[in-house]
Structure 1
Amino acid sequence: MHPILNEIGTVFIPVRDIARARDWYCDLLGVTNEGEILHGHLYVLPMKGTSIVLDSKIFAEDHIFKVPAFHLNTKDIEAAYTFLQDKKVELVTGIEHGHWFNFKDPDGNLLMICMC
């Protein structure tokens, strides 16, 4: 058996304010923020599949995602785009090729939503 598995366990996102980031991401994903902030700087988002961990200890301007490190899935790209417009989220692109778009979180991390 190979000692390194071919799967991703967690993606860490650098954030300035852990409580504010927790609330923003939970609202974005439509999940409750029932979990606790760990060690004063970590919050594990309740995800299906690969985990996302928000971490305020690793935040620095040069650590934010300047390109998307992953994408969030949607079954309706138009509805996802409109949802973020209505929330006044900073949209970086329009819907590209009818398939994906980029946006920023409040800390400036570049994220992507893509049709699955």
Structure 2
Amino acid sequence: MWSWVLHRITGVLTFFFLFVHVLDTALVRVDPDTYDRIIETYKNPIVGLMEIGLVAAVLYHALNGIRVMLVDFWSKGPQYQRVMLWVVLGVWFVVMIPGAGRILYNTFAGH
């Protein structure tokens, strides 16, 4: 059940990010100077930490989505759904460590 809840939450978070991303990118056509100023406001540590949250949400949502498809469309999916959840969490952790490290490096040291 918690994987279902987390899947829904990460889907909504990803949707809201994409919504804001489309809006701020659309500004480049309306007023390029305003777009540049908004992009500059994103270059701070708080947004860097939010990027880690975004990567975590998108990665979990994608990996769990594959698991959900396997449970739904593979005849043995329901039998292995718990094992697949642990695989998803393991892969998520293995990919998140270097991803978060890179984002933290870029945020705090890699200007």
Normalised TM-score (structure 2): 0.26
Higher strand content, 1 or 2: 1
Normalised TM-score (structure 1): 0.25
